[in-house]
Amino acid sequence: MLKLGVLLSLLAKPALACKLALILLMDVSTSIDGGEYAYQRDGLADALLDTEIMSVLSRDRVALMVVQWSGARDQVAAIPWRRMHSQGDVEVFSNWVRSMRRVFVNSKTAVGSALAFSSTQFEAVADCERRVIDVSGDGASNSGVNTSNQSRLAARQGIEINGVAIDIVGNAITTYYRRHVVTPDGFVLTSTGFSDYPATIRAKLLRELVRPGS
């Protein structure tokens, strides 16, 4: 029979903490055709099933959300916050991503508005230690609020912004993301076209989850 002191210490043991709240932003603006949307959707779904990524997501009780975005008023939490308590939770989330329908078509590109929308979503996961926004896209803003201003505002709120820049030719989008999108503590990875996206999103998740700050 447990002694009273031991019993009380077990009962007082705090619940495992959420280490990270991560919002995954997916570009569905006019420049993204059906095949390119599928590359993003399936690439993310596959990356979540990586053995190392699954282990860290469940170990650190990571909270995940997927946001689809395009024009100034076109942002939606396609998959609301879900907490990864087990690898089974990660598998379910991956299946949701893979079956996710596209919400917007034929709309402009408003990166700043997507950041503004996402920055307001963290209140529901206020117990998480880190707050990170990941934005993937193939174009600079042509609509909505100023991107640089929103990035600076997020940084002041303690939110980290990272990016996957999809560059078809050259590195114009990568440069734009570095200058205007990511926060000082964030980073950009380049996907050379959409066929490279699955490998890039996996590398991005590994860098955030397994080797943060690398």
pLDDT at residue 146, rounded to an integer: 97
Read off the pLDDT of residues 154-203 as tens digits, 9 standing for 90 and up: 999 999 999 999 998 889 999 999 999 999 999 999 999 888 999 999 99
Read off the pLDDT of residues 124-144 as tens digits, 9 standing for 90 and up: 999 999 999 999 999 999 999
pLDDT at residue 38, rounded to an integer: 94
What pairs with residue 8 in β-bridges?
A: none
Domains annotated for the chain, with CATH where assigned, are 16-209 (3.40.50.410)
Residue 170 is given by DSSP the state T
The pTM (predicted TM-score) of the whole model is 0.90
124 with 90: CB under 8 angstroms? Answer: no
